[in-house]
C-alpha cells in the first residue's frame, strides 16, 4: 500500500470543502510534477478533477461532465497543465500595489482581505477613479459572497468612519487600518500563492475554502458547551488544523467565546504565531 496525503479543496460546484486523498507514489512518478485526482461527490453527484503539484498545492480544478467521468478509466491521470489563464492584472502586481516592498505589500494586502472577509468596509483610495475601481473589482473577484470594498478619492476620505479600513494606492499607506486582527495565516497563504503561476485562481480557491470552514467554525462555537479540541473543530469544519487558530481569532474578534478550545493538535505542528 502506498502512502496517501489528505487535503481539503473547495469545490466551486457545491460550495463545500471536500477531502481528497492523494497517493504520494503517484505524485512522485509524474514527470510534469502535476497529478490530477478525480473526486466524485455530492448530491446530486458531480465530479471535480483536481490538479495537485509536488508540494500538494492545488494548481487547478476542472468540472468534467458525467459523460467524461465514465471515460476516465483511472482516477489518476498525468497532466501537463501548469497554469490557468492570462490575467490582465496579475496576482503579484495586485499585491505589490499595497506597498513599496513585497513584505509590506503582503501584510497590507492580507489586512485588507481579512477586513473584507469579516464583513468590514474597505476603501481603496486613488484620485483617478478608474485606477481605484480596477483594483476594487479585482479584489471583489476573490469573494464568492458580497463584500464591501469600494473606490474613493482622497477628498472623499473625510466622510468615512474611523473604524473603516482605508488604503491609498496613490501614497502607498493606510489612512486607517480598521480591525486589528493578526494576519499571519493569510500572509503565509499570499506568499505561497505568489510562487505559483495560477496564483489568482489559487488564492480565490484558498479564500473560499477558509470562508466555508469559518462559517462551520462559528456554527460549532455557537452550539458548543464545555471543551472541544482544535483537531475536532478542524475535522468538523473541514479544514486543516493549522488554519484553526486564525479562524478562532477571527471568531473571537467578532465576539464569540473561544475559551473552551483545547489546543492539542498544534503541539504537533510548528506554531507560526
Ligand atoms: Zn462539489
Mean pLDDT of all residues in 61-88: 53
CA of 123 to the centre of ligand 1 (A): 33
- pLDDT for residue 197: 72
Q: How far is the CA of 8 from the centre of ligand 1 (A)?
A: 12
pLDDT of residue 152: 96
Q: Would the pLDDT of 83 be above 80?
A: no
CA of 14 to the centre of ligand 1 (A): 4
**Structure confidence by residue, pLDDT tens digits, 192-228:** 999 877 788 889 999 999 999 999 999 999 998 889 9
**What local confidence, expressed as pLDDT, does residue 159 receive?**
93
The three three-digit cell numbers of residue 6, written as one number: 489528505
Q: Is residue 53 part of a domain?
A: yes
Cα(236) to centroid(ligand 1), Å: 17
Answer whether residue 22 is part of any domain: yes
* Distance from the Cα of residue 51 to its chain's centroid: 17
Residue 50 CA to ligand 1 centre (angstroms): 11
Q: Which residue from 187, 186, 188, 164 is spatially nearest to 174, judged by alpha carbons?
A: 164
Omega within 30 of 0 (cis) for the link into 44: yes
E strand or H helix at 114 = helix 102-117
Measure the CA–CA gap between 82 and 202, rounded to whole angstroms: 12
Mean pLDDT of 74-101: 65
Judgement on whether residues 70 and 98 belong to the same structural domain of the protein: no
Are both 67 and 96 inside the same structural domain?
no
Domain co-membership, 73 together with 95 = no
- The region of weakest confidence among 96-105, 174-183, 222-231 is 174-183
Q: How far is the CA of 25 from the CAs of 29, 52, 234, in angstroms?
A: 6, 13, 26
Domain-located, residue 83: no
In a domain, 192, yes or no: no
Last residue of a domain, one of 55, 78, 101: 78
* Mean pLDDT, rounded, of the chain: 85
Residue where a domain terminates, one of 123, 147, 177: 177
Distance CA 226, CA 262 (A): 10
**Mean pLDDT of all residues in 10-37:** 86
| Total number of domains constituting the chain | 2
> Are 98 and 170 in the same domain?
yes
CB neighbours (10 Å) of residue 22? Answer: 20
What pLDDT is recorded for position 153? 95
CA 145 to ligand 1 center in whole angstroms: 17
| Mean pLDDT, residues 132-161 taken together | 93
Q: State which residues form the domain around 167.
A: 91-177
The CA distance from 147 to 3, in Å, is: 41
Residues 101 and 170 in one domain: yes
Q: CA–CA separation, 114 vs 5, rounded Å? A: 29
CA-wise closest residue to 84 among 196, 190, 195, 9: 196
66 and 103 housed in the same domain: no
Ligand 1 centroid – CA 96 distance (Å) = 33
Give a yes or no: residue 132 inside a domain: yes
pLDDT for residue 113: 95
Does residue 218 sit within a domain?
no
The domain boundary residue, chosen from 177, 197, 217: 177
d(CA 193, CA 59): 10
Residue 185 lies in a domain: no
DSSP 24: H
SS3 162: coil
Mark whether 115 and 138 lie in a shared domain: yes
For residue 143, tell me if it sits in a domain.
yes
Rounded distance from Cα 43 to ligand 1 centre (Å) = 9
Residue 155 and residue 125 in one domain: yes
Count other Cβ atoms within 10 Å, centred on residue 135.
20
Distance (angstroms) between ligand 1 centre and the Cα of 137 equals 26
Query: Does 11 score more than 50 pLDDT?
Result: yes
Amino acid at each position: 500500500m502506498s502512502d496517501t496525503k489528505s487535503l481539503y479543496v473547495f469545490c466551486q460546484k457545491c460550495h463545500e470543502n471536500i477531502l481528497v486523498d492523494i497517493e504520494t507514489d503517484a505524485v512522485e512518478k509524474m514527470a510534469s510534477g502535476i497529478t490530477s485526482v478525480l473526486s466524485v461527490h455530492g448530491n446530486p453527484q458531480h465530479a471535480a478533477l483536481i490538479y495537485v503539484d509536488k508540494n500538494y498545492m492545488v494548481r487547478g480544478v476542472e468540472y468534467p461532465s458525467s459523460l467524461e467521468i465514465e471515460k476516465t478509466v483511472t482516477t489518476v491521470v498525468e497532466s501537463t497543465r501548469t497554469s490557468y489563464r492570462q490575467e490582465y492584472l496579475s496576482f503579484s502586481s495586485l499585491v505589490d500595489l499595497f506597498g513599496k516592498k513585497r513584505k509590506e505589500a503582503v501584510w497590507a494586502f492580507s489586512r485588507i482581505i481579512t477586513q473584507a472577509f469579516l464583513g468590514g468596509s474597505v476603501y481603496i483610495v486613488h484620485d483617478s477613479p478608474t485606477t481605484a475601481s480596477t483594483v476594487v473589482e479585482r479584489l471583489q473577484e476573490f469573494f464568492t459572497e458580497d463584500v464591501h470594498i469600494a473606490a474613493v478619492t482622497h477628498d472623499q476620505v473625510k466622510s468615512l468612519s474611523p473604524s473603516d479600513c482605508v488604503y491609498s494606492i496613490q501614497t502607498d499607506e493606510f489612512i486607517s487600518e480598521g480591525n486589528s486582527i493578526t494576519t499571519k495565516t493569510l500572509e503565509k497563504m499570499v506568499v505561497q500563492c505568489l510562487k505559483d503561476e495560477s496564483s489568482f485562481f489559487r488564492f480565490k480557491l484558498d479564500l473560499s475554502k477558509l470562508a466555508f470552514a469559518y462559517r462551520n467554525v462559528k456554527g460549532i462555537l455557537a452550539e458548543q458547551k464545555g471543551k472541544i479540541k482544535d483537531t475536532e473543530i478542524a475535522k468538523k469544519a473541514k479544514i486543516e488544523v493549522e488554519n484553526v487558530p486564525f479562524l478562532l481569532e477571527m471568531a473571537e474578534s467578532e465576539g464569540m467565546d473561544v475559551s473552551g478550545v483545547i489546543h492539542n493538535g498544534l503541539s504537533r505542528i510548528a506554531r507560526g504565531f
